Amino acid sequence: LICGDFSLSEKGALVILSSPSGAGKTSIARALVEENKNFLFSVSATTRKSRPGEVNGREYHFLTVNEFEERIDNGQFLEHAKVFGNLYGTPLQPVLESINNGKDLIFDVDWQGGKQIRGSSLSKFVISIFILPPSIKALQERLMKRAQDSSDTVKDRMGKSIGEIMHWKEYDYVIVNSNFEQTLHEVKSIITSEKLRRVRNSQLEEFIETLTNEFKELKS
């Protein structure tokens, strides 16, 4: 929004996408980033081994346990948690840079990470969305189809999925991912709507004052 030489700018938003494994949050996050240059993907750090095709620094920052714990001690994570036996965390510096540069950062995190981000000092920048599968059977089929994990890991993920689903009430929005394109559209609509909220327009008071002064000048 521009009036004369005045530009009404915003800080970047922190968009949390959470779901049980296989419900589609990662695919949605990737699609958002591909479609809109203002969206950036938050690259987490992890101690798990990389999967075939994954690149260090693109999918994850792959760290040893010692490296990860050292960064925890140095306060370099916005949030961190242990999930399925591995450590995961969000590097803090890229988050601060995205907010200050007006870029919207997309987080693909579990409910533990989402809770820590919402409870952090950056909570006012957060938009949280929980993605549900259309059914437990569909969730299992998606996990098996992507063929990224062993059958034991899939079984473990399925066993923990109901516990993850029970955290849906902690989120601002909840979407059932029955159709990927429809879900993607709904997520984009939520972000657009939230960005237009008065409380997210950090320079709105200054802009209103500008309009008021212009009005006074016209009357004088």
pLDDT confidence of residue 198: 60
Scanning 87-202, the segments in alpha helix (DSSP H) are 92-100, 111-118, 136-146, 151-165, 180-195
Lowest mean pLDDT among 79-88, 160-169, 193-202: 193-202
Q: Where are the beta strands (DSSP E) in the chain?
A: 2-3, 6-7, 14-18, 39-41, 44-46, 60-62, 77-83, 86-91, 104-108, 126-132, 173-176
- Phi then psi for residue 122, to 5 deg, are -100, 15
> Pick the residue with more confidence: 206 or 62?
62
* pLDDT-derived band at 48, boundaries 50, 70, 90: very high
The pLDDT of residue 3 is above 70: no
Mean pLDDT estimate for the chain: 88
pLDDT confidence of residue 200: 65
pLDDT confidence of residue 154: 76
pLDDT confidence of residue 148: 65
The pLDDT of residue 116 is above 70: yes
pLDDT confidence of residue 215: 86
* pLDDT-derived band at 87, boundaries 50, 70, 90: very high
pLDDT confidence of residue 202: 66
- Calculate the CA 190 to chain-centre distance: 13
pLDDT confidence of residue 145: 77
Mean pLDDT to the nearest integer, 27-53: 93
The pLDDT of residue 146 is above 80: no
The pLDDT of residue 2 is above 80: no
Mean pLDDT to the nearest integer, 5-19: 75
pLDDT confidence of residue 86: 94
pLDDT confidence of residue 143: 80
The pLDDT of residue 1 is above 60: no
Model pTM above 0.85: no
3-class DSSP state of 150: coil
